[in-house]
Structure 1
């Protein structure tokens, strides 16, 4: 299907800025009623590290003393009105940010120690110092601080500042969750397509061949990157020409020159079409360059989306709801242009342009053996084997256990109130951002579904400016309670900076000016200060602030007794969660393709509309990923949704739950 618009993520740089406010607040006796901070501009709503002045306190009738200064995170406007000294995370260097928290960290505060670790991990004007981050996260984790355990586990998982240790990472994630044994991580199975033969025979020849292949790939990536630079320059020039035509058109309309107006309007349409074509070509080149880079870094991956694997002792096992009969296998590869063929049990499985593939297998009552194999363009073959079991299976030791009552809210669990901020940006003031067709439709449909079917109190922001979006988020910060839940949905243009930082582009955002956008770091800081226990960001655009899927706790009810399901739900409902479900990582995503909605929005809406039980975020992601892989198989842009905790947003161990009105009544232990 022809594609004209994407919610694209071109590369731009980020401009660091420093902000400082000074003042003095004296408190005697009981604190006075809070004063509402005046908001003058969007910057006043940015979250800052604020060092409040000490309080004058009385001990008895004669002794008066000044308490130590208190570090807090609050808005810039609130810090100013309370007389604090502040710095903004994404506008400061690490020395100024450390000034707020280091004293508390040195005195043993676990929260301050974790914050110092995050400052070093972020970098803030310099390269991240993961070694120092590791030391401070370790200090806080040793005191039992859950957020520090999550951060420390991520460093172990990625090998940042410490030797990579997957076992240590998973142990820390489990400790932070408070559940053992039944808790699983990274239930989706991934295998390396270009797996190396472990035999020593012919190793030297393989090494020589690998070096030659790597050299050829480097040259291919170099050429692609050079072409990317040329195409970006052409796109920038085309946008300048479009802006000039728009200016001339406005002048012609003012002069009431009808002939010139018609001529310029036609020229404007042609230029807009050229820009759309250039963006599609650019997205394709970025995907090719990214795939080449993936090969150099390791290899493309094969991923099984459905069915979901469960933890067993022995071979891989996948369990699905239903009885014996035909069962669909759904998967995808992350670099389809580098894969020649995918087979399921020896039969070719058609693969779409986005890397998705599917095939049917016959599953008897006792289960079926499934082998998925992939062959790359160089002829290298890799395979994964697993046992596929129906939940209703019968017949001895191979039968699936009786299913637990997943989807039922356990007795005594209260999920609290649900709120949503839904943002949909179609029309942009800057000519550098083409008008989108489906973002506002997506936002309207999501807001209505959450309100009518799930009982959310929704705030809808259409074509929102930077101030309007930040104001809506700040209202949640000021009004929500710890027992509340918040979903933030964003559909619109996104940007990715040269340093990997992601941005949402408001309708008044200026092309090439990151200070006019909303950074993911700023969103994460806002999420960190919102009192709500569970927060989920759903972004049909770029959002690059997440950890990895391995750090999300999952539960497979198909193999667990009811009391374990209830225990897991209670633990996840009590834990503090900050997670993100995104439509496509850091690559451009299609603006439309499924009627009036984007592919991602259509899949998201369908899953929530069809759901009639308690639905956890991890399962929502799995069902959206499966649906998206199938409906967008012919899309020229590969979409690989992601679900993970948000870094530096205060995630501890919980999970976000959806419960339709009247569904999933409390039951069980």
Structure 2
């Protein structure tokens, strides 16, 4: 239902999932126990402001020159928490994005000495402005991004590519955007060419590859068989229930026709399409599906698979043990707030959080810390603890479900802690503070899943790569391994910057129901972009049935250290690869 969003003008219920995929080392003697560490941190005394990210000036270092001369170097800027700055005897003003001058002064001198890190932070300050009085200066941002990018800073490469892509401070130039994104990706030539939306726009001519097809939702199961046959690809479904199948078509030369069992289908701008199929009448009933795509060159591709009753399939084991070691360890912080003191109580936030915690732990092997009805102090302590505990061998998820608020004009978003007042923001959690924490967390891949009204304000539009349809299992796995090596900060929102549905009739929100369903159905190593495509189709379909139109989005998180076109990777457990 939509009542919570409608009754609160600036309601923001955020579900944030920070997902990191990194190279694991099976010889590590002591894997991180994040649940114990985060639990201890949440229960420890202390102010949440201690864990806010600030710009800190550390004291200069004392150097000895010969026997009789000593000197002190200039003070050094660093972005860290207030707690860490105090321990290191640093000087700071609690960081406020409205305090533009203080932050710029802290980093500008360092940038002018040639520090790539300083140049990157100066660029982000110019790109943001102060949110109130000082507007963004995109031309200056581009200059500083370029200086840092030319020194190899991947975050700056992405920033510069974004400005070229959107025509901010620079002439809009897709080829330059492509060039900088490619440099930042770190992918090999072969892997990069396997991504569907990393092609430089070209004039239409002959010589393009023909169209390619893939099924996104529900996932196909490859059944056992010595010789491949059309029905070796199958979808298990319940009998007596009408089923929709979602897929994606890629046609570099332009799509002329798309048919599903002879019926013409119109895909979305990014090639995603949905077809409604008849229900299976019995456990022995089957339905053969044929999809045909023809491009403007008259090249065509077909794909066949079968709908079969659940229980009639014997899928092969999709993930051998030796294949998953490179994807790292997985952790999750899951937050659900229902029982608000001053805001209207919610019905499904804790239910959503509990179910997601369960599927992440049981199906994907995450170490999960679940917080119910959390205050600002607990949330900030938990986030800060992950900056201390995790390394580049760890993956992290943070999921938040609860109320929120969006300030118009400055477009500042907040998570609302369970004891926060409606007219006093001192106990609200600023999304910019969460973003700052993401820069300090060592995990490479961070994905925020935000199931809330106006949750899209956490992100900034930017091209995200996705794999081309039609890759073999071996080709796809090689690309996944490449994607798993790059630092990524992305967010999946349940409805962009518009109100979203709170209930879907199953005890969960429409978005959470889709998120859970796709993860539970999945039997393969799954990149987040593919997860999103499946969720996107389910949410639109189910919301329209309820008389609304809810459109999820998936973009990089703004100013969180996004460096690459990589993606977060989910690795489901099987008896052979279950993590000890």
Do they superpose with TM above 0.5?
A: yes
Aligned pairs for 1:185-264 (under 5 A) are 186=197
Please tell me whether the aligned partners of residues 110 and 140 of structure 1 are also in contact (alpha carbons under 8 angstroms). yes
* Distance (Å, rounded) in 2 between the aligned partners of 1:435 and 1:104: 48
* Distance (Å, rounded) in 2 between the aligned partners of 1:530 and 1:52: 20
* Distance (Å, rounded) in 2 between the aligned partners of 1:595 and 1:574: 37
Match status 1:116 vs 2:122: yes
Please tell me whether the aligned partners of residues 121 and 130 of structure 1 are also in contact (alpha carbons under 8 angstroms). yes
Which runs of 5 or more residues in structure 1 are unaligned?
Answer: 13-35, 189-311, 333-342, 372-382, 394-404
Aligned pairs for 1:129-528 (under 5 A) are 129-179=137-187, 180=189, 181-184=192-195, 186=197, 313=208, 317-320=212-215, 323=230, 358-359=275-276, 368-369=292-293, 389-390=302-303, 411=323, 414-430=326-342, 433-498=343-408, 499-528=410-439
- Return the structure number with greater helix share: 1
Give, in angstroms, the shift of residue 48 of structure 1: 0.6
- Corresponding position of 2:254: none
Q: Across the two proteins, how many residue pairs are aligned to each other?
A: 478
* Distance (Å, rounded) in 1 between the aligned partners of 2:329 and 2:508: 28
Please tell me whether the aligned partners of residues 524 and 648 of structure 1 are also in contact (alpha carbons under 8 angstroms). yes
- Corresponding position of 1:6: 5
Give, in angstroms, the shift of residue 85 of structure 1: 2.1
| The one of 505, 519, 534 aligned to 1:623 | 534
The DSSP-based 3-state class of the residue aligned with 1:591 is: coil
* Distance (Å, rounded) in 1 between the aligned partners of 2:196 and 2:336: 33
Q: Deviations over 1:107-137 (max 9, x none)?
A: 1111111111001111124211111101100
The DSSP-based 3-state class of the residue aligned with 1:570 is: helix
Which runs of 5 or more residues in structure 2 are unaligned?
Answer: 12-40, 200-206, 223-229, 236-242, 249-258, 279-286, 307-316
The DSSP-based 3-state class of the residue aligned with 1:639 is: coil
The DSSP-based 3-state class of the residue aligned with 1:633 is: helix
- Rate the CA distance shift 1:160–1:549 in 2: closer, same or farther, 3 A: closer
Please tell me whether the aligned partners of residues 364 and 573 of structure 2 are also in contact (alpha carbons under 8 angstroms). yes
Backbone CA RMSD of aligned residues: 3.9
Match status 1:613 vs 2:508: no
Q: Deviations over 1:599-644 (max 9, x none)?
A: 1111111111122221111111112112222333222332211112
Please tell me whether the aligned partners of residues 317 and 386 of structure 1 are also in contact (alpha carbons under 8 angstroms). no
Q: Deviations over 1:312-366 (max 9, x none)?
A: 925654334584899966599xxxxxxxxxx9988799x9xxxx9745699987x
- Corresponding position of 1:582: 493
- Corresponding position of 1:107: 113
The DSSP-based 3-state class of the residue aligned with 1:504 is: strand
Match status 1:656 vs 2:551: no
- Corresponding position of 1:195: none
Please tell me whether the aligned partners of residues 544 and 585 of structure 1 are also in contact (alpha carbons under 8 angstroms). yes
Give, in angstroms, the shift of residue 440 of structure 1: 0.5
- Corresponding position of 1:538: 449
The DSSP-based 3-state class of the residue aligned with 1:71 is: strand
- Corresponding position of 1:198: none
Relative contact order, CA 8 A, sep 6+: which one is greater? 2
| The one of 73, 77, 94 aligned to 1:71 | 77
- Corresponding position of 2:554: 643
* Distance (Å, rounded) in 1 between the aligned partners of 2:128 and 2:8: 21
The DSSP-based 3-state class of the residue aligned with 1:51 is: strand
Match status 1:529 vs 2:529: no
- Rate the CA distance shift 1:9–1:317 in 2: closer, same or farther, 3 A: farther
Please tell me whether the aligned partners of residues 52 and 82 of structure 1 are also in contact (alpha carbons under 8 angstroms). yes
* Distance (Å, rounded) in 2 between the aligned partners of 1:558 and 1:357: 18
* Distance (Å, rounded) in 2 between the aligned partners of 1:485 and 1:348: 38
The DSSP-based 3-state class of the residue aligned with 1:170 is: helix
Please tell me whether the aligned partners of residues 212 and 301 of structure 2 are also in contact (alpha carbons under 8 angstroms). yes
- Rate the CA distance shift 1:110–1:319 in 2: closer, same or farther, 3 A: same
Give, in angstroms, the shift of residue 515 of structure 1: 4.0
| The one of 39, 47, 51 aligned to 2:57 | 51
Please tell me whether the aligned partners of residues 9 and 586 of structure 1 are also in contact (alpha carbons under 8 angstroms). no
TM-score normalised to the size of structure 1? 0.64
* Distance (Å, rounded) in 2 between the aligned partners of 1:519 and 1:622: 29
- Rate the CA distance shift 1:604–1:549 in 2: closer, same or farther, 3 A: farther
The DSSP-based 3-state class of the residue aligned with 2:326 is: coil
Please tell me whether the aligned partners of residues 484 and 534 of structure 1 are also in contact (alpha carbons under 8 angstroms). no
Please tell me whether the aligned partners of residues 447 and 460 of structure 1 are also in contact (alpha carbons under 8 angstroms). yes
Q: Deviations over 1:43-84 (max 9, x none)?
A: 222111111111223356544332332211111232233222
TM-score normalised to the size of structure 2? 0.73
Give, in angstroms, the shift of residue 594 of structure 1: 3.1
- Rate the CA distance shift 1:44–1:315 in 2: closer, same or farther, 3 A: same
